[in-house]
Amino acid sequence: MDTIDDFKRDMVSACRILSRKKLVEGFGHVSARIPDSERFLMTPRIGLALVKESDILTLNFKGEVVEGNRQVPSEAWLHTAIMKSKPRVHAITRIHARAANIFSVTERQLEPVHNHGSFFAGGVPVFRRPDLITTEQLGNEVAQALGDAPAILLRGNGQVTVGRTIPEAVMMAIYLEEAAEVLYGALQIGKPIPLTFDESKQRRIEALPPVDLERAWNFFKHQAESNKE
């Protein structure tokens, strides 16, 4: 079973991957639930490329820092509200992906057309208020708008993805941006052919068996660490 040190190590890997993929620059956060507790780990108010394991904070479900010396992010309530209300969620990324952001500032829905987009079948929800999520109430509203989806767009203000594990939340971030980029491109050259409900369902099953999730995670970790390819 994973220890807290394992989670912290994976969170730092997540930070490096999200930076390497340009899904964050100076801002954004990663959090991970401490299983069977009312606590979670969260990166502090520094750029993800710079986060070290020793910087990671522990918060409780009241949004209070219970361990760690670094400054708490202004959007701690976003993570707190999701962790508290959604036991299925064990990890959250708060990112600023470019193509997904573009969809959030138009009425165009982000609907999947390619295989890795199948997780977003039916369209990605959008939280229309452009504020930072700095209060308990705003946190709860985002959590509610997210529902059972793996991702939500915050209008003009980045995205949130969730997963049952840290790698899954990170892959949802990567696939969300991929889905946005492919749909964006398709809209430039013709009429996109969306995945049907059944196609999405089948592709979701195929697209993320544990072995392939681990495969993708290993690749992106390698890429981030070697700063190559």
- Does the footprint of a second copy cover residue 16 (CB under 8 A)? yes
Q: How many Cα atoms sit within 13 Å of 227 on the Cβ side?
A: 1
Distance, in Å, from the CA atom of 138 to the CA atom of 157, rounded to the nearest integer, reads 14
Q: What are phi and psi of 127, to 5 degrees?
A: -95, 115
Q: In the beta sheet, which residues pair with residue 58?
A: 41, 67
Q: Rounded to the nearest whole angstrom, what is the least distance from the CB of residue 37 to a second copy in the complex?
A: 29
Q: Which two tokens stand for residue 164?
A: 């049952």
- Does the footprint of a second copy cover residue 106 (CB under 8 A)? yes
- Does the footprint of a second copy cover residue 13 (CB under 8 A)? no
Q: Rounded to the nearest whole angstrom, what is the least distance from the CB of residue 85 to a second copy in the complex?
A: 24
- Crossing angle of helices 210-226 and 166-189, in 10° steps, is 80
Contacting a second copy (CB under 8 A), which of 3, 5, 36, 211? Answer: 211
- CA 198, distance to chain mean position in Å, is 25
- Does the footprint of a second copy cover residue 45 (CB under 8 A)? yes
Distance, in Å, from the CA atom of 19 to the CA atom of 152, rounded to the nearest integer, reads 19
Of the pair 38, 105, the CB lying nearest a second copy is at 105
Tell which positions 52-81 bind a second copy, by CB under 8 A.
71, 74
Contacting a second copy (CB under 8 A), which of 33, 84, 203, 204? Answer: 203
Q: Which stretch binds a second copy (CB under 8 A): 2-10, 33-41, 112-120, 137-145?
A: 112-120
Tell which positions 122-141 bind a second copy, by CB under 8 A.
130-132, 134
Of the pair 64, 214, the CB lying nearest a second copy is at 214
Q: Which two tokens stand for residue 63?
A: 């949004």
Contacting a second copy (CB under 8 A), which of 40, 103, 120, 127? Answer: 103
How far apart, in Å, are the Cα atoms of 224 and each of 21, 109, 138, 219?
Answer: 8, 31, 33, 9
- Are 3 and 35 in contact, with CB atoms under 8 Å apart? no
Q: Rounded to the nearest whole angstrom, what is the least distance from the CB of residue 3 to a second copy in the complex?
A: 26
- Does the footprint of a second copy cover residue 2 (CB under 8 A)? no
Of the pair 3, 227, the CB lying nearest a second copy is at 227
Alpha-helical runs (H) found in the chain: 4-20, 76-85, 98-104, 136-146, 166-189, 197-207, 210-226
Under the rule (CB under 8 A), what is the footprint of a second copy?
16, 19-20, 22, 25-27, 45-47, 49-50, 71, 74, 98-99, 101-103, 105-108, 113-115, 117, 130-132, 134, 155-158, 181-182, 184-193, 195, 199, 202-203, 206, 211-212, 215-220, 222-224, 227-229
